[in-house]
């Protein structure tokens, strides 16, 4: 008898065929922001350069600057030349530039939104965008509500219609807590139908994150280990060496937990902990993620199993750097955390009693995002303890970035010794194993929005479930007595981050 294997990728469309978007306009709010300048605008060019945008395409910027189309086009060109991943090709740029428009207006400006409507009518005619419009809200969360209302008021969206389509793209964080996320959802769903809402979590657009699904469900090798019988605990780390830079306005009052744990890290947790979906169709994938998020919860003892810090002056990249409170635009008594760590327990058969530890922080010694499955020790070692002194726990580490790949750590005999055993690692590197370079997450996600392809976008239920995990922790931290501990920039965080694991008999990996 042969083993039959049902491929979970079976009903995905053939990913080898380039998927080219149909005629459409992409309207961007927040074009002068950091994200648009560094990531979104270059990604649009890279898509055009890869031949994935249609001839009937238009990019419309909306903002307060008193720019004409030409000035905005120059601005886009500058960001493309500085940041695009693919080489600059004049003919590609010429064609893209033909469809670039700018509309001046604030979020509250009726005149601005009327002008936007007019501009879209014009590009539908001259560029052949056929009335298909995506609205990308790359703006601070407190503006979502207003812009969505303006789109409705000015008749830029028709919920009852599927062709031509209107879609909205919302950057995280979606809400500030569970209650505000629900309120926002009410607003969004009163204007857009649920399949027209694309909530961005750019981690899901990363190739290495998608590779987690391949690793888990395309192989036989790992699955037997992927449970409480073999794994002692899981560590998910997102460390950044940068400080908050010029993002004080966005970051202060939000902090590390809302900025990246509620979304990126809990999505990583869901993908690493979920059961195999019946297929990679959006509904199936979401169902599995939702199930595992519903089984996940904040630790029972919040004092012992959460940690919160704020960087003080220190060293980064060989330079002396300021502390968070000295950064421009930060209130001197700000209590926003730049380091957040906590334990999550998953109450299901696969993971009961095997904690997941999440940590995210700015001004760490280096930039690294990884998921480490730490395995339980071998039940018995038939060696002298002295010979195994340098033996740690076996680990399977999924390196999300940089040096994307996978590391396995296990013990091996040191050559020419009687039987001394030491940890060694075995590496898979994306960069050396494949000739193709990885597209930026935003290329993939913008293209998926234009194609109306939803699997890589979290649904509202997932957003709610993530807030449900986080809310008790945020409430606990809101208490004046539980203020962030200082840690020097360029170090691995405050002592409470360490003791949190030590209490359970573990230590953080040094990634």
Q: Is 370 in the site for ligand BG6 (CB under 6 A)?
A: no
Q: How far apart are CA 286 and CA 268, in angstroms?
A: 13
Q: Is 290 in the site for ligand BG6 (CB under 6 A)?
A: no
Site for ligand BG6 in 302-341 (CB under 6 A): none
Residue 100 or 400: the one with the smaller Cβ distance to ligand BG6 is 400
Q: Which residue has the closest beta carbon to ligand BG6?
A: 259
Q: Which residues contact 423 (CB under 8 A, 6 or more apart)?
A: 390, 391, 392, 409, 410, 411, 412
Judged by DSSP in three states, 43 sits in helix
Work out how close the CB of 180 gets to ligand BG6 at its nearest, in angstroms, rounded to a whole number. Answer: 18
Work out how close the CB of 240 gets to ligand BG6 at its nearest, in angstroms, rounded to a whole number. Answer: 5
Torsion angle of the four alpha carbons 302, 304, 305, 311, in this order, in degrees rounded to the nearest 10: 100
Residue 33 or 61: the one with the smaller Cβ distance to ligand BG6 is 33
Q: Is 464 in the site for ligand BG6 (CB under 6 A)?
A: no
The catalytic position among 264, 380, 460, 482 is 264
Work out how close the CB of 124 gets to ligand BG6 at its nearest, in angstroms, rounded to a whole number. Answer: 33
Q: How far apart are CA 84 and CA 98, in angstroms?
A: 19
* Residue 242-261 contact track with ligand BG6, rule CB under 6 A, x = bound: -----------------xx-
How many other CB atoms are found less than 10 A from the CB of residue 260?
24
Work out how close the CB of 202 gets to ligand BG6 at its nearest, in angstroms, rounded to a whole number. Answer: 6
Residue 129 or 369: the one with the smaller Cβ distance to ligand BG6 is 369
Q: Based on the residue annotation, tell me whether 264 is a catalytic residue of this protein.
A: yes
* Diameter of the chain measured on Cα atoms: 82
DSSP 104-141: E--TT-HHHHHHHHHHHHHHHHHT--TT-EEEEE-S-G
Closest CA to 213 of 145, 282, 272: 272
Q: Is 43 in the site for ligand BG6 (CB under 6 A)?
A: no
Q: How far apart are CA 445 and CA 264, in angstroms?
A: 14
Residue 232 or 237: the one with the smaller Cβ distance to ligand BG6 is 237
Q: Is 240 in the site for ligand BG6 (CB under 6 A)?
A: yes
Q: Is 447 in the site for ligand BG6 (CB under 6 A)?
A: no
Work out how close the CB of 257 gets to ligand BG6 at its nearest, in angstroms, rounded to a whole number. Answer: 12
Q: Facing residues of 370 across strands?
A: 237, 399
Catalytic residues: 264
| Interface positions with ligand BG6 (CB under 6 A) | 240, 259-260, 369
């Amino acid at each position: 008898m042969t083993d039959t294997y049902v491929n979970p990728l079976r009903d995905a469309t053939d990913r080898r065929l380039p998927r080219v978007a149909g005629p459409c306009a992409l309207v961007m709010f927040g074009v002068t922001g950091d994200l648009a300048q560094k990531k979104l605008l270059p990604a649009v060019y890279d898509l055009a350069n890869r031949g994935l945008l249609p001839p009937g395409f238009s990019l419309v910027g909306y903002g307060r600057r008193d720019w004409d189309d030409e000035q905005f086009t120059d601005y886009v060109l500058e960001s493309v030349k500085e940041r695009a991943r693919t080489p600059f090709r004049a003919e590609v740029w010429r064609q893209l530039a033909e469809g670039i428009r700018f509309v001046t207006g604030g979020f509250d400006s009726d005149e601005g939104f009327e002008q936007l409507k007019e501009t879209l009518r014009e590009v539908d005619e001259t560029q052949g965008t056929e009335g298909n419009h995506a609205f990308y809200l790359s703006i601070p969360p407190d503006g979502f509500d207003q812009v969505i209302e303006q789109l409705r008021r000015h008749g830029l969206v028709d919920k009852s219609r599927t062709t031509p389509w209107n879609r909205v793209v919302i950057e995280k964080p979606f809400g500030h807590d569970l209650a505000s996320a629900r309120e926002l959802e009410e607003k969004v769903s009163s204007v857009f139908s649920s399949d027209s809402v694309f909530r961005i979590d750019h981690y899901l657009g990363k190739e290495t994150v998608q590779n987690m699904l391949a690793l888990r469900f395309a192989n036989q090798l790992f699955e037997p280990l992927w449970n409480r019988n073999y794994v002692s605990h899981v560590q998910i780390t997102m460390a950044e060496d940068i400080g908050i830079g010029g993002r004080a306005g966005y970051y202060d009052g939000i902090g590390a937990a809302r900025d990246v744990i509620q979304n990126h890290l809990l999505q990583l947790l869901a993908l690493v902990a979920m059961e195999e979906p019946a297929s990679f169709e959006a509904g199936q994938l979401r169902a599995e993620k939702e199930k595992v998020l519903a089984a996940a919860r904040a630790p029972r003892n919040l004092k012992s199993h959460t940690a919160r810090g704020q960087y003080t002056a220190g060293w980064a990249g060989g330079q002396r750097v300021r502390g968070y409170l000295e950064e421009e635009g930060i209130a001197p008594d700000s209590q926003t955390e730049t380091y957040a760590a906590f334990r999550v327990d998953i109450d299901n058969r696969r993971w009961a009693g095997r904690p997941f530890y999440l940590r995210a922080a700015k001004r760490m010694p280096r930039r690294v995002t990884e998921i480490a499955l730490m395995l339980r020790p071998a039940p018995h070692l038939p060696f002298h303890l002295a010979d195994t002194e340098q033996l740690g726990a076996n680990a399977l580490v999924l390196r999300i970035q940089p040096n994307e790949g996978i590391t396995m750590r296990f013990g091996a005999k040191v050559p020419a010794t009687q039987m001394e055993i030491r940890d060694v690692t075995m590496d898979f590197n994306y960069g050396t194993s494949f000739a193709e370079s990885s597209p930026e997450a935003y290329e993939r996600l913008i293209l998926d929005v234009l194609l109306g392809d939803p699997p890589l976008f979290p649904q509202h239920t997932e957003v709610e479930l993530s807030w449900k995990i986080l809310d008790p922790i945020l409430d606990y931290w809101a208490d004046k007595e539980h203020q962030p501990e200082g840690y020097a920039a360029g170090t691995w965080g405050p002592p409470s981050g360490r003791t949190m694991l030590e209490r359970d008999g573990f230590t953080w990996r040094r990634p």
